[in-house]
Structure 1
């Protein structure tokens, strides 16, 4: 967020500010964007995750993030003018809104539900670690790559499209218990033929004939 807003000149000329003043402006901007975009998106996810469904929310989030990021990147020079800084901030706040009313929330819910019980903790840990690796790569990309902010936004939009394709392969878990999701109830309710035979044999009594 700092690099993107610095790129459009949101914080002014850094050479004419003290480090404390620059840090204050960055922290203030980030707090405003989070309060106006991220938190409302998170609260809406809590309210509607069992009404709309995890997959629909995740697809909607990825799709809207893609649209807003392409909108920011396609007209990046337009947003760079001082008169349009507020519009850029609103667009970016909507991006974070649909990040939290979307994959930023549902990707913490789905891994705890869709994996079988025997593998749930392990696979959930692997899934979380994969997400953290992606976050590290994203931060390092912005920090050290020579790519422009506009190109980086387009790259992020491409990552969202990949997220949409993977989301389409996931099962919907709305309104289902963990046993129903993994199919464990079906296994319990349908005993094998061998176990059924043994169960029937227990009720066979032999009578001696003298």
Structure 2
């Protein structure tokens, strides 16, 4: 599969080939501009160097820690869904069902959550990502995830703790 003309121009740095390809596609004569000499910037520092830490360390720490805490909350919810769903009354206690019935009811509750939140959220993002912006969409997603996790957690508070 051939590379796109944009890739050819920006990454492969072959302006003549990119201009010729775009001329064919757009049916317009395009001439490649002569390459300008750009000043050389020395950004060659290692991943674990002091320069990297000074330049990107705070951003890396902030991003990694927020995703770490999100993953703990989100994926641990998947581990304990049967207990959460039983505690808030979405499914009966596990002792009253056989294994297949329990799996079916948990899957049904997960499907309901996906159909009411995840799928509409994805389509909202597809429709509005260029109008609202990626940062705002992500903040909205985190906000609604927080709201729905609190909505699941608040009824769970009144139940006795699961002690191992």
- Whether the TM-score (by the shorter chain) exceeds 0.5 is no
Structure number with higher relative contact order (C-alpha < 8 Å, ≥ 6 residues apart): 1
Instruction: Identify the structure with the greater helix proportion.
Output: 1
TM score, norm. by length of structure 1? 0.33
